[in-house]
Amino acid sequence: MKIYFNANNKATLEALQKCGVKNVLVSHRYSYANIDRFRNCFDKIFTIAGTKDNPDKYHEFLREKKECYDYAAQYNIPYKMMETMKYLTKERELNLNVLPVLQEDYIKHLSLLNPDANSYVCVGKMRGRLDTEDSIKKLPTNIKYHGLGKGKFTTKGIFESIDTSLWISAAMSKKLEVWCNGVTPIFLSETMTHHRPVLEHYCELYKDNMERVGINVKSILNNHYYSLLRLPIALFFMPICRHLNCYEENFNS
């Protein structure tokens, strides 16, 4: 399974580069001016329009920058199946090579698309956590799926690929998840001092990963922003990719 790490500014892109990440997801709205630079830095680039983006500008970008990305999601409206379908029709008329995005009702939307077997389809947003999970379980298995923002489904074996912004949470919200045969949450706030021994334990356990991404315990305890950006890669994503036997798909050796 491929993991596309969300990155839309200089700090996140540099952090992912230093971590040896192979696959990134970028939005047109925030990255259109810099995407040329990303091509030589990563193996695979997945692009999306971005929140409240201009559809015409997105379509122009897709036409003019074909060499800068590997996959592009269609312009879509969260939770709006029929509006999303209308954009797909337009994009096909424009001969744009985009991946359809399921919205609102995954099963109904998929039946309207009627894709060929082994087609690559994105799974977008649906209201209700339980309904979302139930619909994802019912998706036909003869289609390949990319989970847009579906990082929570990393271990479920449902998606061909997913993208995630969860890796940024340690730096932004001071919350970290560690993988060690399961998920362990750690809070990095200075007031949560009882988490410090647990954090130090996992940093030692994954010492090789820490060195690979160029960080150490001291910088983490000092809440160094750029170290915190790389911490989830070392303590969660590298271990979970090894667990899922997809490390080489997602990280440089």
What predicted TM-score, i.e. pTM, was given to this entire model?
A: 0.94
Q: Long-range contacts: 195-201, Cβ < 8 Å, 24+?
A: 196/221
Compute the average pLDDT of residues 9-30: 91
> What tokens were used for 125?
């947003």
Lowest mean pLDDT among 60-64, 163-167, 186-190: 186-190
Q: What is the per-residue pLDDT across 146-158, written as a single tens digit (0 to 9) for each? A: 999 999 899 999 9
Delimit the domains of the chain by residue range.
2-164, 168-250
* Top-tier CATH class for 2-164: alpha beta
Higher pLDDT: 56 or 30? It is 56
Contact 11, 227 (CB under 8 A): no
Compute the average pLDDT of residues 71-100: 97
